[in-house]
Amino acid sequence: MNHPLVENYFRIDKFPHIWCPGCGHGIIMASIARAIEKLGLDKDKVCVVSGIGCSSRAPGYMDFNTLHTTHGRALAFATGVKLANPELEVIVISGDGDLSAIGGNHLIHAARRNIGLTTICFNNNIYGMTGGQYSPTTPTHDKGTTAPYGNIDKPFDITQLAIGAGATYAAKTTVYHVNQMDKFIESAIKHKGFSLVEAISICPTYYGRKNKKGSVVDMMTFLKDSFVDHKVAEKLPAEKKEGKFLMGEFINKIEPEYTELYDGIIESLKK
């Protein structure tokens, strides 16, 4: 017997996947499939697009129209797919480096356009595929192979970056808070317009080891203890918020969607 989700939404012959023991990416990939299942989407009409990196290997396992593109460019390819065929439900899977470093320009512009793409950022705070270099989301003072004396960069908050650029749906969650993740990914896919779910993942192999974060379980426990819903946090006294990271749904609003606006132009020209 196989995992029912794998049977129905994955390319079972490609398993087991390439990710390291304890890597959180598989949890997010499963959550995406559950959301698709829950929404009852037609597999033939789902397109999953990725760039380069650990997370970007996900589409190869997923039984949809899948496109593994060049580093950082997933959103740009996906924009072409979506505009060319708005019927398709286009989901972009991108890592923190892929999405906010080399692909940062595409992120802000896809958000600005409010094009109906769902972006799931697998954020593990490191470049995993290349062996543990610091990324735009590596916390200051943390180490990477290219930050041997501690990172002096200030990290991006990808969720807030997307909101600043105009995303109409944005949420942050972690691989520990998996029920919440399911809910957010489902809402993001349903959302008309640009949506982003930043899923905080764990990279025990590179980030964890380099920064002495302990075992896989220790890293998961850290997520459990450190992330608090921003609505809950509002009511907490200051001392209880110290050292906590905010998660939750940060924006969910309706604005005109890009491909619908373009179809409006086409319609208006028919007159």
Among the listed residues 35, 220, 246, 247, the single contact to other proteins using CB under 8 A: 220
Closest distance to other proteins from the beta carbon of 192 (Å): 18
Q: Which of 32, 76, 171, 199 binds other proteins (CB under 8 A)?
A: 76
The nearer residue to other proteins, 2 or 140, going by C-beta atoms, is 2
Q: Segment 247-266, which members bind other proteins (CB under 8 A)?
A: 262, 265-266
In angstroms, rounded to a whole number, what is the distance separating the alpha carbons of residues 157 and 85? Answer: 31
Q: Tell how strand 133-134 and strand 227-229 pair up.
A: unpaired
* CA dihedral of 157, 163, 168, 169, whole degrees rounded to 10: 20
Q: Exactly one of 32, 54, 88, 129 binds other proteins (CB under 8 A); which one? A: 88
Site string for other proteins, 42-61 (x = CB under 8 A): -xxx-x-x---------xx-
Phi-psi region of 71 (alpha: psi -120 to 50; beta: other; left: phi over 0): beta
Taking CA atoms, 214 is separated from 19, 64, 147, 228, in Å, by: 18, 36, 19, 21
Q: Measured between alpha carbons, how far is 46 from 128 in angstroms, rounded to an integer?
A: 27
- Considering only residues 3, 141, 209, 253, which one is a binding residue for other proteins as defined by CB under 8 A? 3
Nearest to 223 by CA among 205, 204, 239: 204
Query: What's the angle, vertex CA 76, arms to CA 193 and CA 98, rounded to 5?
Result: 100
CB of 227 to other proteins, least distance (A): 15
List of residues contacting other proteins (CB under 8 A): 1-6, 10-11, 14-17, 19-27, 30-31, 43-45, 47, 49, 59-60, 63-70, 73, 76-85, 87-88, 105-106, 108-109, 175-176, 178-179, 182, 204, 215-217, 220-221, 262, 265-266, 269
